[in-house]
Amino acid sequence: MSDKSAGMHPQRAIRVFISSTFRDMKEERDELVRNIFPQLRRICERRGIVWGEVDLRWGITDEEKAEGKVLPICLEEIRRCRPYFIGILGERYGWVPLEISKELIEREEWLKGHLEKSVTELEILHGVLNDPGMADHAYFYFRDPAWAHSRPEEQRASMK
């Protein structure tokens, strides 16, 4: 599709970054992808807006993980989605990278004070908390811990 819809107006787009730990939020993310986002996409299309969500469960290869590219990819995608950000939080803290490259720290100096944080926390800092101007377009959803405790034992194990 070109930059102009119907040859008259610049194309408008909304890209939303979805942040959460992956393993314990699978059901919530799947619900968004299967049911909520298609509805939002249709509403946006009727208004001439292109809807897109960034869910990095499918966007990062094993090779990129092995090369330490997870965090740089996340931060860049958040930047591309600004100001739209959704955080989904439960009981898990998430994966903490063993190290952050010097190049990334030079590019993102705020990381110096957060070297032992989870990728999820770093996403939230970068996407919203480091820039209060983003708060009007960010939404956070917190799962009730009682719901997780009500799940069968095999499901609870994957939520830890």
The continuous run of DSSP H or E covering 129 comes out as none
Q: Strand ranges (DSSP E) for 90-146?
A: 138-142
Count of C-beta atoms within a 10 Å radius of residue 84 = 19
**Mean pLDDT, all residues of the chain:** 86
Domain boundaries, the chain: 12-158
Question: pLDDT value at position 58?
Answer: 64
- Give the model's confidence band at 6: pLDDT under 50 very low, under 70 low, under 90 confident, else very high: very low
Distance CA 35, CA 82 (A): 23
Q: What secondary structure letter does DSSP report for 136?
A: G
Q: 59 by DSSP, 3-state: which?
A: coil
Distance CA 28, CA 159 (A): 12
- Give the model's confidence band at 18: pLDDT under 50 very low, under 70 low, under 90 confident, else very high: very high
CA nearest 53: which of 32, 73, 35, 74?
A: 32
Predicted TM-score (pTM) above 0.85: no
Tokens found for residue 129: 């908390």
